[in-house]
Amino acid sequence: MSHNVYTHRVLPQETDFKEQITLSALGSLFLNTAGEDALRNHFGPDDLLKMGCGWVVSRFAMEVSKYPKMYDCLKVETWIEDFGVMFTGRNFRLLDDKDKEIGLACTQWAVIDINTRRPVNLSRFADWQKFATGESNGMEKPRKLQEMDCPVIFSHRVRYSDLDFNRHTNSMKYAEWMVDAVPFEQLESSRIRRFDINYLREARYGQQVDVCLLNSLDLSCFELRDENGKALCRSAIEWVTE
């Protein structure tokens, strides 16, 4: 019922030209921590797989006040806030090696049937309710992002190195492509204050993905689209000048 804490040391390949952790590496850290904590509580990916089910993240948001550097030691505190009918909310706090809070994150998860890829009603897992603490971490919940008219910046064909063990695109690869679409000068002069992402459809091997962006110096709004123009995911980045 309590909060659990996990540690991580930032690896060189997780950092960018500023020697700071990248958005996708930080996002992976939160998602991996969710996986590890679920594993510890006996509802990890492997436990669900035995029931023909799997976790999918539907929304994710994070706010970061200070970006860790290469070899920094981090702590991630995590707990479940609630279990609804379709979704469960998991919260995070990111601490530096002096236990100072440097970031927050909220995730919203669904359970899907791995054959039909359709959501499963969470009432099926009534014994999980005991893990819900009802506690927020104080940040605004992941926002629902609206459909947008935005131009294609580049296209990417899904490759072997984009795939996870489910043979779908790794959740944080979408975020990686989005940041890659931002002008380099903006990446040099600004940092990400808040990031929101909504996952809608999965991108598979060989599929072409259009990375679309409506950009300003304060706010970048992204949409990833498949060959038919259907949205795969949407995200928004709020920037602050460094």
Are 97 and 72 spatial neighbours (Cβ–Cβ below 8 Å)? yes
Q: Which amino acid is located at 8 in the chain?
A: H
Single residue of 64, 145, 179, 232 touching a second copy by CB under 8 A: 179
Closest listed residue to residue 3, CA positions, set 73, 106, 76, 84:
76
| Rounded Cα distance, 194 and 57, in Å | 18
CB count within 10 Å of CB 119 equals 16
Binders in 63-82 for a second copy, by CB under 8 A:
70
CB of 25 to a second copy, least distance (A): 8
Single residue of 1, 2, 12, 127 touching a second copy by CB under 8 A: 12
Assess 28 for contact with a second copy (CB under 8 A). yes
Assess 169 for contact with a second copy (CB under 8 A). no
CB of 138 to a second copy, least distance (A): 28
Tokens 């460094």 correspond to: 242
Assess 159 for contact with a second copy (CB under 8 A). yes
Binders in 99-138 for a second copy, by CB under 8 A:
none
Dihedral pair phi/psi, residue 135, rounded to 5°: -95, 130
| Residues contacting residue 154 through CB under 8 Å, at least 6 positions apart | 180, 181, 211
- The footprint of a second copy (CB under 8 A) covers 11-13, 15-19, 22, 24, 28, 31-32, 35, 70, 154, 157, 159-161, 163-167, 170, 172, 176, 179-180, 182, 184, 187, 205-206
